[in-house]
Amino acid sequence: MIRLYIYILLLLLSCLSYVFYEISWKNTEHQELILNAICAALFGSIGILFNYFSTNWGAVTLVLKCLYNRNDSIYVSLSYLFKIKIAGENKYLMIKGSKLKHQYQPIGGVYKKYNSLTEKWLKWGALEAKNDRNNGDDLRFYVKRKYIPEIREWFYKRKNREIDVWREFCEELIVPKILDANIFNHIKPEFLYSKEEALIQRKGIKTKQFLIYDIYNVNFSKVQEEAILSLYQKGEITEQYAFVDEENLDKELFTINNQEYQLGSHAKYLKNE
């Protein structure tokens, strides 16, 4: 945001220069040269600002949203999701959720924080989510609204926190033996993009939320692709996992064998940008 303030200052100085030109420089010997220089600075500043807003619109709008109700409590969740699909098909692998009986969701979870974050954590006055008291390192917490822009900026610097995504892949697919540990002892995850939900209000939840999801593709080997296909052939849905059609990702519902199931709302972010 410091760059934005500098760009705005340059624009203001250019405008003031033009005003001064009209008052004092307009009829001088070098008026044309001065006017050309001022116009170049003015339009250059406008162009720089336009480019900044077009590439940083999310950050700018978030700052504006956090100018009011600055002490409101906001729920923050910083996580990653895996986009796992059958090669050549539009079916995505989901796992059974732990909170609702008939809900499935993308593989993934929240990042962990490191001890090096302690100073910032205390500054933010961050409070762990109640359901995470046994997972105190999870980046799922409450803070005052005024700190959200700073937290967003910190997150994208990838410091003081977990950046490897193997842990959730292992915990959700290898440990419960959905996938074979010998075949999937190594994976090649590839970052695709990030999705944000900035200060949203979920139905039935009073506290507003700020959510970031990093989306990863997994570059499977041929053997691993065959293992995923074999899993699908064993059953499209089980008590542990389900394969969901791409067209259902943003519907929060899907049907298999005439039975309707719920789908996590964040599944929609697995669709191609």
Question: pLDDT (tens digit, 9 = 90+) per residue, 203-253?
Answer: 778 899 999 999 999 999 999 999 999 999 999 999 999 999 999 999 889
- Residue 96, CB-side half-sphere exposure with 13 Å CA sphere: 12
Tokens of 68: 């009011």
Q: How far is CA 46 from CA 12, 18, 34, 49, in A?
A: 10, 14, 18, 5
Q: Is 189 exposed, middle or buried (0-12, 13-18, 19+ CB in 10 A)?
A: middle
**CA-closest candidate to residue 95, choices 162, 179, 165, 164:** 179
Cβ atoms of 187 and 169 within 8 Å: the answer is: yes
pTM of the model: 0.82
Cβ atoms of 252 and 208 within 8 Å: the answer is: no
Residue 141 CA, chain-centre distance (Å), reads: 15
DSSP 112: B
On the question of pLDDT at 26 being above 60, the answer is yes
Tokens of 97: 């959720």
pLDDT score recorded for residue 29: 72
- Phi and psi, residue 71, nearest 5°: -100, 5
Question: Tokens 């700052």, residue?
Answer: 63
pLDDT score recorded for residue 48: 72
The span from the CA of 22 to the CA of 256, in Å, is 73
Question: Tokens 């709302």, residue?
Answer: 265
Q: How far is CA 170 from CA 119, 149, 174, 220, in A?
A: 30, 32, 5, 15
**CA-closest candidate to residue 21, choices 46, 49, 40:** 40
Q: Where are the domains of the chain?
A: 2-55, 70-270
Question: Tokens 């900044």, residue?
Answer: 52
Query: Region 104-130: what's the mean pLDDT?
Result: 94
- Summary count for the chain: helices (H), strands (E): 7, 11
On the question of pLDDT at 134 being above 60, the answer is no
pLDDT score recorded for residue 57: 66
Cβ atoms of 84 and 108 within 8 Å: the answer is: no
pLDDT score recorded for residue 5: 67
pLDDT score recorded for residue 120: 96
The span from the CA of 199 to the CA of 68, in Å, is 12
Average pLDDT, the chain: 88
Better pLDDT: 76 or 32: 76
Query: Region 120-131: what's the mean pLDDT?
Result: 89
**CA-closest candidate to residue 184, choices 138, 230, 243, 234:** 230
Query: Region 113-120: what's the mean pLDDT?
Result: 96
On the question of pLDDT at 45 being above 80, the answer is no
Residue 97 CA, chain-centre distance (Å), reads: 21
**CA-closest candidate to residue 196, choices 70, 110, 78:** 78
